[in-house]
Structure 1
Amino acid sequence: MIGLAFSLAATVGGGWWSLRRLSQARHLLDTPTSKIRSAAQGYVEFYGVLREQADTAIVAPLTGKPCLWWRFKIEEYCGDDDKRTWRVVERGCSEGWLLLDDGTGQCLIDPRGAEVRPSSREVWRGNLRHPRGPAQTGWKGWLDSGKRYRYSEERLHGGQPLYAIGEFRSSGGGRQGLDLGAAQGAVIREWKGDFAGLLQRFDGDRNGQLDEREWNRVRLAAQLEAEERHRQHSQRPAQHQMGKPREAQPFILACAGEDELARQFYWQAAGGALLCVAGALATTWLLNALLA
């Protein structure tokens, strides 16, 4: 029964992984590369260079190296004499926004929820729960092979190329239309939060209530306020942002291009399909053995 459970899990998990990677590969190949300056709102892909942001200093937690984004994992070698394995004891990931420049404009990227695939990765070992100083390389790193902890750290650095696919949205620059009804309602809800102030402005007869005529004045003033806020907002320089899509679409940040990523996804989909087939064959064999 335990073997049957494992074989069923392999069948379902392998099939799900294969379909997921195939879908992601098709999204990557079917989405045309856009330029930040002229990109339409919605799901897009960009290819550019990471830039450092002013007044932003990020340092990787294990190596202490300056970077723009990091992810780390600390594992401990533990277990009994018969079975010893690496167990994750600590992991973390930075959430600082990234700045992508493609030559036509710049876009801020919120990496939360993204599948980040950096090119800079270091793995080394030591005897301390938290390493001190940068990773050991060469013969020193080889001598560390018997130590108790294993550290891995991945980073994104300024000047590195970056492929990004996700949900794109812009504000300012006159790019956003005005939904007057929604904007007016938002202003009225804001004013209702200070009802005493609302009464002071619009309660003409000072009876502590707003009649229909006075509410009409509130709605007219809120409409004018909403139009003025939109005008001021439209005069600001355009700001572009990318984040996790609302729908089940891939959100990927990678130092590799889309062709290389799609090729990797196809290989992973093939591996998932093989696991699914192997699990199905094992399930069939085990069911026949149980029923025999």
Structure 2
Amino acid sequence: MLSGLSPSGAAPQVLLMALALGAVGLVQFFRLQRRRRVMEDMPTARIRSAAQGYVELIGRALPPDAPLFSPITRTPCCCKSTTQFWLDDDTGRCIVDPEGAEVRARSRNTWKGAAAQLIPGTSEVLMTGDNDHRYTEHLILPGQTLYALGWFASLSPLQASAHEEVRERIAAWKADPQQRRSFDANADGELSMAEFEQLRQRAAAAVEAERRERAAQPQTHVLKKPKDRRLFLLT
């Protein structure tokens, strides 16, 4: 004899499933509404004048310095996994570090083909087997308009203090036998106080010249994942 749930017994389970699905849908709805409000309320910053912190940027995606291609179709692209790329808004450029981002690429390729297998130790893909596998490739293409929401930071070319750099230069020169001999005037294998002072002054002058040259260089801007739980979006 076959047994099963009676209509009256199935009704509570169906109701519970409906309530669970409704709760999930409600959470998703409020999540999307919250995201929409964040995006609407956030003014668009310009890279050249953007404040440090959480910002919205809109510009053109540009590939990294080394050519980058999608793994299967070998299409030139800007973003793959954690590979950094550029964002340009005509006022400046910033590096986009996509690690931890929600990426919603606007370009998509869909097709059927053989099974894709990653060749060990490379980023190359080998296609094998039948053609019944369905693929969708999401791409951020070079020159494509990109909306980015994340943490903006400007890195000064002078990260360390002059005192720290001089101290490190002195230590490096003292540890270098050739440099050490160049300051050891009497060739006794030791640096006297006068010889050490000459080394220190020479190191300070070299560091000061290098810092002046670096100070003239533009800052490096980076957009990355916020340290808190705020949205990091690339689309």
TM range (shorter): 0.5 to 0.7
* Residue identity (%): 33
Aligned position for 1:35: 46
Q: Does 1:169 align with 2:154?
A: yes
Aligned position for 1:77: none
Instruction: Please point out which of 59, 68, 76 is paired with 1:58.
Output: 68
Gap change, CA 1:212 and 1:37, over 3 Å in 2: same
Give the C-alpha shift of residue 94 in structure 1: 6.0
Give the C-alpha shift of residue 186 in structure 1: 2.8
Give the C-alpha shift of residue 208 in structure 1: 0.8
Aligned position for 2:197: 216
- Residues 12-27 of structure 1 aligned to structure 2 (within 5 Å): none
Aligned position for 2:173: 191
* Cα separation, 2, equivalents of 1:111 and 1:43: 15
Greater per-residue helix proportion? 1
Gap change, CA 1:44 and 1:192, over 3 Å in 2: farther
**CA displacement, residues 124-157 of structure 1 (integer Å, 9 cap, x when unaligned):** 4434335899xxxxxxxxxx7xx3x343321101
User: What is the count of residue pairs matched by the alignment?
Assistant: 195
SS at match of 2:116: coil
Equivalent AA in structure 2 for residue 221 of structure 1: R
Q: Does 1:179 align with 2:161?
A: yes
Instruction: Please point out which of 116, 123, 133 is paired with 1:129.
Output: 116
Q: Does 1:110 align with 2:110?
A: no
* Structure 1 vs Structure 2 CA RMSD: 3.8
Equivalent AA in structure 1 for residue 180 of structure 2: L
Give the C-alpha shift of residue 50 in structure 1: 1.6
Gap change, CA 1:57 and 1:198, over 3 Å in 2: closer
Gap change, CA 1:59 and 1:182, over 3 Å in 2: same
Q: Does 1:99 align with 2:80?
A: no
Greater CA radius of gyration, 1 or 2?
A: 2
Give the C-alpha shift of residue 230 in structure 1: 0.7
Gap change, CA 1:201 and 1:33, over 3 Å in 2: farther
SS at match of 1:46: strand
Give the C-alpha shift of residue 27 in structure 1: 7.8
Q: Does 1:157 align with 2:144?
A: no
Gap change, CA 1:114 and 1:216, over 3 Å in 2: farther
* Cα separation, 1, equivalents of 2:203 and 2:54: 33
Give me the TM-score of the superposition, normalised by structure 2: 0.64
Give the C-alpha shift of residue 52 in structure 1: 5.0
Aligned position for 1:241: 221
Give me the TM-score of the superposition, normalised by structure 1: 0.53
Cα contact 2:166–2:207 (8 A) shared by 1: yes
Q: Using CA pairs below 8 Å that are at least 6 residues apart, which structure has the higher relative contact order?
A: 1
Gap change, CA 1:42 and 1:179, over 3 Å in 2: farther
Equivalent AA in structure 1 for residue 191 of structure 2: L
Cα contact 1:166–1:251 (8 A) shared by 2: no
Gap regions ≥5 residues in structure 1: 1-13, 71-92, 134-143, 256-292
* Cα separation, 2, equivalents of 1:46 and 1:151: 31
Cα contact 1:43–1:168 (8 A) shared by 2: no
